[in-house]
Amino acid sequence: MTATTPSIPQTTERLQPSLVWVIALKEIREAVRSKWFWMWTVAFASLAAFMASVALPGSQVTGYGSFGRTAASLVALAQIIVPLMGLTLGAYSIAGQRETGALRFLLSHPVSRSEAFCGTYLGLAISLAGTVFGGFGIAGVITVAQGGGANAASFVRIAVLSWLLAVSMLGFGMLVSTFTRRSSAALGTAIFLWLGFAFLGDLGVMGTAVATRVPTWGLLASAVLNPVEAFRLASLSAFSGSLDVLGPAGSFAVDTFGDRLGLLLFLNVVIWAGVPTVAAWARFTHGGDV
């Protein structure tokens, strides 16, 4: 042990990427060890594999039709499961660490709140990438093995969109987590949000549209303002190139935005990936006690 000195050297107070990465790596290691993480990974990969295998046999369809059918099934799967994964992981992240004292331990080191937040977020986002791309990868391999294979670029685009949806929900989950001191309350709120995004949003839009005769642009706007619907629109656009399936609202969107529609829908998902995360970061770094 060395003798001590009363003076304290001033070091940088700015965000250090190397520290963010140290925390992210710890999160990834914890995710790999977590039974919840593997439960999601196995569930998503199994369902994806199941959908890929039942979408093709006996269909006598190859090329676009084969991959398109698998992609459509995976979009339907992703819009239910992926938000739940992201929301619950995010909701548990900060509240869980706060509950056990791990957050206090982390922040008792020369680590800023921004570094703690960004490291946690990055680690979980990478872990979610493993789950999402693992599931899509398995589905892709099965599809190719059964004779599908065309339009793989669209398939990859949907996988990326699914990950962006996961990241968006992770941000929402972390936002919830910054407001609650107990992980059980955070998880409960996250599941409530999931119901809102995945089911009530869709049904609510339909019901409201019928009851109030919402104009077509209003219907499109309400879909774009729900991140799960935004993902669905962008994915439909990615593998079919049109939004005809949405009826008048889809036609309105195609007529209004033309060739830029696909890019705009993709950007909409990107924005949804960023907005809740920035809100959660602001709340965590400027918020109260640990």
Question: Using the rule CB under 8 A, is 283 a contact of another protein?
Answer: no
Please identify which residue in 10, 57, 60, 258 interacts with another protein, judged by CB under 8 A: 10
The SS3 assignment for 138 reads: helix
Question: Using the rule CB under 8 A, is 43 a contact of another protein?
Answer: no
Which residue's CB is nearer to another protein, number 122 or number 261?
122
Question: Using the rule CB under 8 A, is 36 a contact of another protein?
Answer: no
Q: Which long-range contacts link 250-258 to residues 24+ away (Cβ below 8 Å)?
A: 250/220, 251/216, 252/216, 252/217, 252/220, 253/220, 256/217
Question: Using the rule CB under 8 A, is 182 a contact of another protein?
Answer: no
Question: Using the rule CB under 8 A, is 212 a contact of another protein?
Answer: no
Question: Using the rule CB under 8 A, is 20 a contact of another protein?
Answer: no
Q: Which 3-state string (H, E, C) describes 232-285?
A: HHHHHHHHHCCCHHHCHHHHHHHHHHHHHHHHHHHHHHHHHHHHHHHHHHHHHH
Pick the closest to residue 84 from 210, 151, 172, 145 (CA basis). Answer: 172
Please identify which residue in 17, 101, 215, 247 interacts with another protein, judged by CB under 8 A: 101
* Total residues found in the chain within this entry: 290
Question: Using the rule CB under 8 A, is 12 a contact of another protein?
Answer: yes
Question: Using the rule CB under 8 A, is 129 a contact of another protein?
Answer: no
Kindly list the residues in this chain that would bind another protein in the complex (CB under 8 A): 1-13, 18-19, 22-23, 26, 30, 33, 97, 100-102, 104-112, 288-290
